[in-house]
Amino acid sequence: MYQQLSKYLLGAAALGLLAACGSDDHEPAPPPQPKSIVATAQATADLSSLVAAVQFASENNDLVALLDNPGTLTVFAPTNAAFDKLAVALTGNANAKAADILVAANKPLVRSVLQYHVLTTKVTAAQIPFGKAIVPAGGGFFKIDNVSGKPVITDGRNGKSNITATDINASNGVVHVIDTVLLPANKTIVQTASDARPEFTSLVQALQFASNDNDLVTTLSGTGPFTAFAPTNAAFDALARELTGNANAVVADILVPANKQVVRDALLYHVVAARVLKADIALNTPIQPLLAGKTFAISAPAAGGVIITDGRGRIANITTTDLLNSNGVIHVIDKVILPSP
């Protein structure tokens, strides 16, 4: 009898224990809620320079509030190493660090640079519009290309930055980590041709020569947007040989008063009054340049490349695409294109 009672009590205890376990009122802990973009950066050691820059460049805490308040933002977040690399470039000091550029004289630049990293819409990695112009909160534009399966940004000064981590979720948007600070454009099409691209010296000479009261130079220095199909120096020398029949002719031989209208029309024929990146080019469709009443066409032959067929049936290869500028984009071509007679 005692043994049966003991077995009963032990069994009842076991059942009681199981019942107690099954009736536990504790629910599983909810998953942690995403933090704001600012809080996410503050919690990420490799983004401490970004946090410092945002705090430094804010006016009445506005940039901090922008990245902390509810919203649907996208932030391309440079790492500490990226900010150190920028400090070296700006100061010329190989040992410079991010803190060295967070000085009063640089505040407008740092502020504009930070605003250039923020989009006012949420764009995940799967939503990146590869090859298209992306307009950040601070104005200007940049683009992202798919390079061997990896996203690479080209900024307004044609610098490159790799996106090293994507889709870090935040309560007010998403963060993508990048390895180089993006810089907004600081040169117009004319300034790029004049100051930064030695292969365009003949183009600059032609613009100055063919202008009336500097109007062509002024136009391409304006707000735009424009797309310029820019012939190289070699292309202008080839045109000189074509027009003169002299195998030794160079560009200077055609920049003479008798040719001014021809050169002027040719230059207007190379400019479109819109920003047209490579990804936006309408193939096999008449394209209207600034030269009224004239068109040309762009195609992509099966053999590869992108070519222009001008109004005289001549072919020019587009050798480099998407050189970004503050007022548009340049595509480099290897022949001066000419309108129909």
Percent share of the chain, pLDDT over 70: 91
| One-character DSSP codes across 204-271 | HHHHHHH-STTHHHHHHTSS--EEEEEE-HHHHHHHHHHHH--TT--GGGT-SGGGHHHHHHHHHTTE
Helices (H), 24-152: 37-42, 48-57, 62-68, 80-91, 107-115
317 located within any domain = yes
CA atoms within 13 A on the CB side of 207: 23
Domain boundary residue, one of 156, 178, 200? 178
Q: Identify whether residues 52 and 139 lie together within a single domain.
A: yes
pLDDT in tens, 107-122: 999 999 999 999 999 9
Rounded alpha-carbon distances, angstroms, from residue 149 to 65, 144, 162, 280, 304: 35, 12, 12, 21, 20
- Cβ distance 306 to 281 under 8 Å? yes
Q: Identify whether residues 286 and 267 lie together within a single domain.
A: yes
Q: Identify whether residues 194 and 311 lie together within a single domain.
A: yes
3 located within any domain = no
∠ Cα 188 190 194 (to 5°): 115
* Beta bridge pairs of residue 176: 76
pLDDT in tens, 45-92: 999 999 999 999 999 999 999 999 999 999 999 999 999 999 999 999
Q: What is the mean pLDDT of the chain?
A: 92
Q: Identify whether residues 209 and 131 lie together within a single domain.
A: no
User: Pairing state of beta strands 315-325 and 328-333?
Assistant: antiparallel
Confidence check: pLDDT of 1 > 60:
no
231 located within any domain = yes
28 located within any domain = no
Q: Identify whether residues 172 and 208 lie together within a single domain.
A: no
Q: Identify whether residues 42 and 163 lie together within a single domain.
A: yes
Domain boundary residue, one of 109, 143, 178? 178
∠ Cα 124 129 132 (to 5°): 145
C-alpha–C-alpha distance, residues 113 and 111, integer Å:
5
Q: Identify whether residues 160 and 239 lie together within a single domain.
A: no
Question: Could you tell me which residue, 267 or 29, shows the higher pLDDT?
Answer: 267
How much is the pLDDT for 303? 87
340 located within any domain = no
Q: Identify whether residues 156 and 275 lie together within a single domain.
A: no
22 located within any domain = no
Q: Identify whether residues 67 and 173 lie together within a single domain.
A: yes
C-alpha–C-alpha distance, residues 79 and 47, integer Å:
5
Strands laid side by side in the 271-272 sheet: 271-272, 226-231, 328-333, 315-325, 307-309, 297-299
Residue 145 CB partners (closer than 8 Å, separation 6+): 130, 131, 151, 152, 154
Looking up residue 116, the CATH number of its domain turns out to be 2.30.180.10
Domain boundary residue, one of 143, 178, 213? 178
Q: Identify whether residues 193 and 316 lie together within a single domain.
A: yes
**Domain count along the chain:** 2
Q: Identify whether residues 142 and 268 lie together within a single domain.
A: no
248 located within any domain = yes
135 located within any domain = yes
Q: Identify whether residues 173 and 194 lie together within a single domain.
A: no
Task: Give the range of the structural domain holding residue 146, as residue numbers without chain letter.
Answer: 37-178
